[in-house]
Amino acid sequence: MIPSILEWFRDPMTWSGPGGVPTRLLEHLWYTVVTVVIAAAIAVPLGLWVGHTGRARWLVSVANSLRAVPTLGLLFAVSLVVGPYIPGDLAFTAPSIAVLVLLAIPPILAGTYAGIDAVDPSARDAAKGVGMRGRQVLWQVELPNALPLLLSGVKSAMLQVVATATIAAYLGLGGLGRYLIDGLAVSDIGEAAGGALLVGLLAIVLEGVLSLLQRRVVSPGLTGRTARGSQDGDDAPQAEAPADAPVDVRG
């Protein structure tokens, strides 16, 4: 199997033209990013609202149960039912993207909600206590504290979409999934496995990019990833020592 993969990778045809790796990779990346951005635009505000107000928590459970719907079936069902009403190329891409978005929403919604829900109640209380209004509490305290879990949700949505977009190639979405379908169709193990390998690589790279983003936007105060000025972070005895130690004066 490995020789045939290498052979596929060495073939110049693999790298050129509309069916070449660069084009397919960009297609795949494009669908993934568009899907995750749309899903986040829906799920993040919804999760923030549910978490902040504590209302409609059932939304999160419903979204989670959506994960059990078989993606492939939904994909075909949607494109069969809706496809005919949509003109041109969009007939294939729009339903596929819609299904992928549906797939990406639950992890982001759950992550956002869990992030807000996990905010230290004393921080939220302090926010109100110093005179923040509802929105200020949300933007200045709840959201920054929810970011680690929120971004974890985005990350897992992203990985899921990268993997599932492969299947969407069945419907003409293009992307790296084409290599799997075409390869399997003509029993070219090298092409199929090579395509799968590329999907995996893309997933790893995207995961890395998101982790970098996470490091940039999440406060060091939350991750424990803080640059310590000195060694006395947890306990600073010199700062706490009584100023006038030798004199024990009462009253």
Interaction of residue 89 with another protein, rule CB under 8 A:
no
Exposed e or buried b per residue across 105-126, where buried means at least 16 C-beta atoms within 10 angstroms of its C-beta = bbbbbbbbbbbbbebeeeebee
**Main-chain phi, psi angles of 104, to 5 degrees:** -85, -20
Binding mask 54-83 for another protein (x = CB under 8 A): ------------------------------
Interaction of residue 229 with another protein, rule CB under 8 A:
yes
Tell me how many residues contact another protein (CB under 8 A). 39
* Residues 102 to 131 in contact with another protein, rule: CB under 8 A: 120, 122-123, 125-131
Among 145, 152, 156, 164, interactor with another protein by CB under 8 A: 145
The Cα-based distances of 32 to 67, 91, 166 in angstroms read: 18, 18, 10
Q: Shortest distance, CB of residue 127 to another protein, whole angstroms? A: 7
**Closer residue to another protein, CB minimum distance, 53 or 65:** 53
**Residue owning tokens 């799968």:** 196
**Closer residue to another protein, CB minimum distance, 123 or 186:** 123
Interaction of residue 234 with another protein, rule CB under 8 A:
yes
Query: How would DSSP label each residue in 19-34?
Result: TSHHHHHHHHHHHHHH
The residue ranges that bind another protein (CB under 8 A) are 120, 122-123, 125-133, 136, 141, 144-145, 219-222, 224, 226, 228-229, 233-236, 239-240, 242-244, 246-251
